[in-house]
Amino acid sequence: MSFYAYAKIEDPKKFRDELFIAWNALDALGRIYVAHEGINAQMSVPADQLEAFRDTLEGYEFMRGIRLNVAVEQDNHSFLKLTIKVRHKIVADGLNDDTFDVTNKGVHLKAQEFNDLLEDPNTIVVDFRNHYESEVGHFEGAITPDVENFRESLPIINEQLQDFKEDKNLLMYCTGGIRCEKASAYFKHQGFKNVFQLEGGIIEYTRQIKEEGIKSKFIGKNFVFDHRLGERITDDIISKCHQCGKPCDNHTNCSNDACHLLFIQCDECKAVMENCCSTECLDITHLPLAEQVKLREGLQVGNKVFRKGKSDALKFKTSGDSSVQPLAKAQTKNIRKKITVKKVLLGKAEHYYTKSKIAQFFD
């Protein structure tokens, strides 16, 4: 599940410690960011502890009655540890909140309302996730910025849409809604007149379309920030294996501990390459463990693990160029007529990986 709340927190470190003690006792796992401006959480909670977990939230006035975005695909091991980090902001947006009214947000839309506005020819829809997220799934016709992080997408989209401030509907979405909370206020401050956002993001949208029998306008997978790396929303496969070009939307991390590059790999390439991104990494994994450790000494991988479609080792890496791609299907026995979707990509790319460690505090 995921949830977020903007609030004024006087002592984020104290708040973090209280949450860790309470949630660790419930065997909850996940990754949580807290800051003076609020909380942003992605978690896994045992079903028999859910009510007790809700009680811990009710203990804070700003989290009473908070909506929990529950995952479409349940998994008992979505997270490997409980990590709570104190950060400057709960979302790295690069904005100075003192320069505009962060409470002047866009109109929140439910699933059917979002679909209806999406059909309006006067609407521009923007995906405010990173490129590796939209590569495996996005709404039909969405602008999918090819950016490294959320803060890069804001000025890029603002520049691209300067001529449409007055007369177009600006429709935006993200994974759980938190990025759009700030983005919608930012774009209204920039002069956009008709700003709308998907309430609860893709996660809540998926829940609503399943419960209400609404046709999905989202195609493919919704990338998630745990070891699953994706929840399937439709059978459409809109991406390809970065090694052979076969239709595929399964993210993985290179097995070489000195690399951990996040990329898309089909089952056949996974078997041949033993979950590695290159022959160089494959050769390293065959070395004795002590020799592998020695090779990693002093090596700073840093954000290189996030450069999934940019590695020269990947023949079918994402170029960032605009393209028209046919869709494949996850279930080949139900092949339908191919659909063509135009993707507009802007900027650069970033990727995410998970690695098991012991539970710990971070400042």
Q: d(Cα 271, Cα 254) in Å, to the nearest integer?
A: 13
Report pTM. 0.73
**CATH match of 2-90 with 3.30.930.10:** no
Beta-strand ranges (E) seen in the chain are 2-6, 29-35, 38-44, 82-86, 107-109, 123-127, 137-139, 169-173, 194-198, 218-222, 231-232, 236-237, 251-253, 262-264, 323-326, 328-329, 340-343, 360-362
For residue 110, what are the contacts with CB-CB under 8 A and spacing of at least 6?
Answer: 199, 208
Q: d(Cα 124, Cα 91) in Å, to the nearest integer?
A: 24
Q: How many CB atoms lie within 10 A of CB 79?
A: 20
Q: Which of 13, 53, 18 is nearest to 34 (CA)?
A: 13
User: Which stretches of the chain score pLDDT less than 50?
Assistant: 302-303, 306, 319-329, 331-363
- Positions annotated as catalytic residues are 174
pLDDT at 357: 30
- Structure confidence by residue, pLDDT tens digits, 235-282: 999 999 999 999 999 999 899 988 888 899 999 999 999 999 999 999
CA 317 from chain centre, in angstroms, equals: 19
Asked if the domains at 2-90 and 102-203 fall in one CATH topology, the answer is no
**CATH, domain 102-203, list 3.40.50.720, 1.10.260.40, 3.40.250.10, 3.40.50.1450:** 3.40.250.10
Classify the C-alpha dihedral 278-228-176-174 as positive or negative. Answer: positive
pLDDT at 341: 34
- Return the DSSP state at 188: H
Cβ burial, residue 96 (10 Å; 0-12/13-18/19+): exposed
pLDDT at 106: 93
pLDDT at 91: 83
The ranges assigned to domains in the chain are 2-90, 102-203, 220-340
